[in-house]
């Protein structure tokens, strides 16, 4: 489903140059649940954003569900992300001028789901994540933990084939974290492919394979 070959990503120039991802080769099969682990700064988030087609400034070749991403123009790349990927950002990236319910609706509008069905799916997600009381709240008024839950809900609401999650439980209580991991596991069993970045061995234990990174390289 995902094949990365000789992927390199460099930030900055001269003294500021950082080789964030170095010669990475990685295969993720359909139905895999892969965990990327490694020390802070080793390139995990950078690699995940490449997989999610959120970054285009890398070299190498990348095939995603049969499409050669390295040949795609930005619009096509974004379309592929919207059609297939649910992404949980480490820093949530919620839209500040939209309410919680409106944030959850965004991925559904990309998929051209009709209004009544959209409302039903939003209500269901709010209920599932215990976010009903916050539906009219704006992200800026919410705690980090609640924003993280909204971010997870938004990532999965459109039932994406691929879930990419960057430290998805970093701001949650351990019982909430376990619930999110159990949810990912259920979605994975139902066919979703999952790639998560985490420091937590507990979270990693929900996946079926762990990939270690160090200094930009996959070990
Ligand atoms: P991790 O997710 O493993 O903590 P990152 O992928 O965030 O690591 O970062 C890898 C390296 O790339 C780090 O040295 C980081 O400082 C650098 N880096 C990441 N993003 C940027 C950026 N936008 N500009 C400059 N350097 C960056």
> How does pLDDT run along the chain (219 residues), one tens digit per residue?
999 999 999 999 999 999 999 999 999 999 999 999 999 999 999 999 999 999 999 999 999 999 999 999 999 999 999 999 999 999 999 999 999 999 999 999 998 899 999 999 999 999 999 999 999 999 999 999 999 999 999 999 999 999 999 999 999 999 999 999 999 999 999 999 999 999 999 999 999 999 999 999 998
Q: Is 46 in the pocket of ligand 1 (CB under 6 A)?
A: yes
Strand partners, 64: 2, 67
Which tokens sit at 79? 């379309």
Ligand 1 atom with minimal separation from the 197 CA: 2
Q: Which residues are CB-neighbours of 56 under 8 A, at least 6 positions away?
A: 74, 77
Give pTM, 2 decimals.
Answer: 0.96
Ligand 1 atom with minimal separation from the 166 CA: 2
Assess contact for 154 and 89: CB atoms under 8 A. Answer: no
Q: Which of 143, 58, 150 is nearest to 99 (CA)?
A: 150
Q: Is 214 in the pocket of ligand 1 (CB under 6 A)?
A: no
* Cα gap 112→167, rounded to integer Å: 29
β-strands 59-64, 67-68 pairing: antiparallel
């Amino acid at each position: 489903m995902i094949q990365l070959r000789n992927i390199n990503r460099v930030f900055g120039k001269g003294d500021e140059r950082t080789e964030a991802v170095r010669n990475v080769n990685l295969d993720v099969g359909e139905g895999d649940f892969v965990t990327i682990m490694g020390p802070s700064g080793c390139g995990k988030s950078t690699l995940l954003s490449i997989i999610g087609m959120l970054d285009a400034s890398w070299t190498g070749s990348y095939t995603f569900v049969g499409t050669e991403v390295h040949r795609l123009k930005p619009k096509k790349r974004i379309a592929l992300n919207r059609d297939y990927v649910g992404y949980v950002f480490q820093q949530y990236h919620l839209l500040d001028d939209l309410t919680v319910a409106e944030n959850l609706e965004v991925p559904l509008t990309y998929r051209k789901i009709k209004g009544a069905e959209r409302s039903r799916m939003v209500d269901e997600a709010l209920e599932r994540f215990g976010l009903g009381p916050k539906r009219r709240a704006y992200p800026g008024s919410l705690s980090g933990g609640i924003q993280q839950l909204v971010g997870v809900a938004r990532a999965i609401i459109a039932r994406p084939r691929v879930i990419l999650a960057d430290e998805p439980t970093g701001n949650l209580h351990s019982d909430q974290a376990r619930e999110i991991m159990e949810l990912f596991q259920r979605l994975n069993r139902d066919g979703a492919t999952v790639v998560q970045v985490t420091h937590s061995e507990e979270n990693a234990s929900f996946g079926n394979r762990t990939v270690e990174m160090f200094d930009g390289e996959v070990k």
